[in-house]
Structure 1
Amino acid sequence: MTQSPLHLDRLRLRHFRLLDLIDQHGSLRAVGNAINLTQPAVSQMVKDLEFALGVNLVERSVRGVTLSAAGQLALQRTRSGVATFEHLARELQTGLSPILRIGTNPVLLVKLLPSALAKLNVAQSDIRFQIRTGWVTEMMQTLWDGKLDCYIGHVNWNQVPLQMASVLRHDALIQTELVIACSASHPLAQRKSLSVKDLADWPWALPPVGTNIRMVLETGLRNNGLSSPMASVEIESDPIALISLAKQVNLLTCVPRIAIEAHSDAGEICVLDMPDFTLTGNQIYFVTLAEHEDMDSLNAMRRAIVDAAGSTTKPH
């Protein structure tokens, strides 16, 4: 099947929404019911889309329809485009300043992101900012789906699908440092000399299994002959909550050092110094889709966050 540029020009937004509906419903009849069209009309839309793109997008069987490998790729690429178009339509309808949609990790709201926003003088800016926080996998998928304009945070590149990585552009910003911390009244905080072996058998407050901090900690302990830490409290929240738990419930925790430095009661928190144990920090990136590279508001944010990252890493 060959691509038809003429038919490509005739496609409408609903043709691209069609792929998402097929993926959701698995039946052309159900898709037709969802958009008030007959099954033959939906079938014709599928044929129009396949003819325009020059590939088979849908596989049919007695159980219904599914997207082919090409259909899955087309769905992902058009999903971000549809989301961007819908975002543009909402902006134009409101008549207000454009919104830059930013995804980030909670700990970066402590210092790095506020510093960048200050450099942009947001109070006087003609750009509005919408910030969402979440775990790495969630934020990267949301960016890929076109529901974010950029993501500022850690990236597990070995877990990023090749199809996603090929459409991303990124700038390296800072390297965060992970530390083991506890209340100043914790028994380990009273010891003058500590070894990684001293961490064995103590209860912890930790983020969920599978999060980057948890994986780095578990790997570090295993490499030193210790078993995975016992999480007495597991919390899907920002590092500030982990610090508060460590302080008030007398638990060990693992958080970025910048979260400790920003904590209002930092004097009541002790960072455990173990010469034989260091944890690999997270590289923080500014990530966006290649198709958004020319957005003025996005480039302004990129310059500000790179500048803020440079200021953050300078010695004081």
Structure 2
Amino acid sequence: MQMISSRIAQLRIKHLALLDIIADRGSLREAAKVLCVTQPAVTSMLKDMESLLQVSLVERGQHGAKLTTEGVIARDRLTLVLNALQGLEDCIRAPNVKEHLRVGALSLAMLEMLPAIICKVRARRPDITIELQEGTVDGIIEGVMNGQLDCAIGRLSDNFHQEHYDALFVRPVSIMPLKAVCSVRNPIARERTVTLKQLRNQAWILLPKGTASRETFERAFIQQGLQPPAPAIESFSWLSNFHLAASSELVTVATAIAVDRFVQYGLVSAIDIRWPVKLPPIVFFCRKEAVQLGTVKIFHEELKRTFTNSPDVKAM
């Protein structure tokens, strides 16, 4: 076990939160109100931190206070420590529970992937409690980076930079192809070997710009020299999109695992086209220092077992 330096050992819990509060409120006076102390006390705390770390953390001027570059780095690291402490409290204060796992996931994984994994984790360790947080790609990456989540199932976005690779343990899980769907009453549901040129004239329900599904959808048309169709409706929920398509002439796209499930329910019909562009792979990730946590290790092991032989996804 690596011992912390004597200087760092002098930091207290309020020190850990101070920089984040200053960044949020923009002044030492407002930070003092949040911490329920006097402004001189906050000034003293800040001086202590700057002395211990031997850098300037906050710039003060006529318009308030803002973090220096070193202050931002320190704030991000200290936020991680605070969230880890909160996770510890959640774990040890829960009645009759020894371990707690916080998992972030995209909505697709929440509905189609996590149930099988959680059942296996619970069968193996029924004493573990699991907290699920649904979010966007960037949201769950941020949650893992700042320690609010122990691990996550998601995709890597364009905002995934070298600092993320340096801090995170990342493993690909599966590749899920994209499929187009429509109402079972839509005439295009009965056609065979549908082309993108035909689909270009349909009325579409699409996820917003910036999502992996939307980018994959549009790239397919662009690669064939076609202008991507503008959506008639934009909706972030693929589940809502299925219901909209089922009750109208509109068509939409989603991952194959979701489409196949709702085709089985009789809600929608898959359009006969193999989407020519692949979605980015689904990945598992956590902070490197968390990969050996018992709960994270068990979750990752069951995730690999669940999707190695899954008929619905291509394992990686």
Same fold (TM over 0.5): yes
Secondary structure at the aligned position of 2:232 is classed as strand
**CA-atom RMSD, angstroms?**
2.3
Q: Who is 2:253 aligned against?
A: 254
Q: How far does residue 161 in structure 1 lie from its aligned partner after superposition? A: 3.6
Aligned letter for 1:194? V
The residue aligned with 1:200 is 200
| Cα 1:289–1:240 shift into 2, 3 Å | same
- Secondary structure class of the residue paired with 2:96: coil
Q: CA deviation at 1:46?
A: 1.1
CA distance in 1, matches of 2:263, 2:186: 19
| Letter in structure 2 aligned against 1:215 | E
1:299 corresponds to which letter in structure 2?
K
Matched, 1:284 2:282: yes
Indicate the SS of the match to 2:309.
Answer: helix
Extract unaligned runs of 5+ from structure 1: none
Q: Give 1:225 deviation, angstroms.
A: 2.5
Query: What is the rounded CA distance, in whole Å, between the counterparts of 2:312 and 2:272 in structure 1?
Result: 23
Which residue does 2:82 correspond to in 1?
Answer: 82
Alignment of 1:39 with 2:39, yes or no, is: yes
Deviations for 1:13-33, whole angstroms, at most 9, x for unmatched residues?
110100111111111111112
Q: CA deviation at 1:124?
A: 5.9
Residues 90 and 100 in structure 2, CA contact (< 8 A), matched pair in contact too: no
CA contact (8 A) 2:180 2:273 kept: no
The one-character-per-residue Cα deviations of 1:62-121 (angstroms, maximum 9, x if unpaired) are 212111111111111211210110121233233331221111112123443222222223
CA shift in 2, pair 1:194/1:262, >3 Å? closer
Is residue 153 from structure 1 mapped to residue 151 from structure 2 by the alignment? no
Q: Secondary structure at the match of 1:230?
A: coil
Q: What letter is aligned with 1:162? A: Q
Letter in 2 for 1:291: E
Q: Which residue of 2 aligns with 1:311?
A: 309
Q: Is the 8 A contact 2:183 2:269 kept in 1?
A: yes
Shift of the 315–65 alpha-carbon distance from structure 1 to 2, 3 Å rule, reads closer
8 Å CA contact 1:218–1:228 kept in 2: the answer is: yes
Q: Which residue of 1 aligns with 2:132?
A: 131
- With structure 2 as the length reference, what TM-score do the two structures score? 0.90
Aligned residues: 310
Q: What are the residue-to-residue correspondences of 1:1-316 with 2, within 5 Å?
A: 5-97=5-97, 98-122=99-123, 125-156=126-157, 158-237=158-237, 239-263=238-262, 265-267=264-266, 269-274=268-273, 277-312=275-310
1:203·1:251 contact (CA, 8 Å) conserved in 2? yes
Q: Secondary structure at the match of 2:7?
A: helix
| SS at structure 1 position matched to 2:169 | strand
Return 5+ residue gaps in structure 2 as ranges: none
TM-score relative to the length of structure 1: 0.90
User: What secondary structure is seen at the aligned counterpart in 1 of 2:31?
Assistant: helix
Judge conservation of contact 1:139–1:151 (CA < 8 Å) in 2. yes
Instruction: Tell me if structure 2 keeps the 8 A contact 1:179–1:279.
Output: no
Deviations 1:125-175 (A, max 9, x none): 11011112122111111222211111112222x311433332111111111
Contact 2:32 2:39 in 1 (8 A): yes
Shift of 1:313: 5.1
Q: Matched residues in 1 for 2:124 and 2:6: separation?
A: 47
Structure 1 CA distance for aligned equivalents of residues 109 and 5 of structure 2: 45
Partner amino acid for 1:261? D
Q: CA deviation at 1:182?
A: 1.3
Measure the CA separation in 2 of the matches of 1:313 and 1:173.
14
Amino acid at match of 2:136: W
Q: Does the CA contact (< 8 Å) of 2:307 and 2:313 recur in 1?
A: no
Report the CA distance shift for 1:314/1:36 in structure 2 as closer, same or farther (over 3 A). closer
Paired with 1:5 and 1:301, the residues of 2 have a C-alpha distance of 33
Q: CA deviation at 1:49?
A: 1.2
Deviation at 1:6, TM superposition (A): 2.9
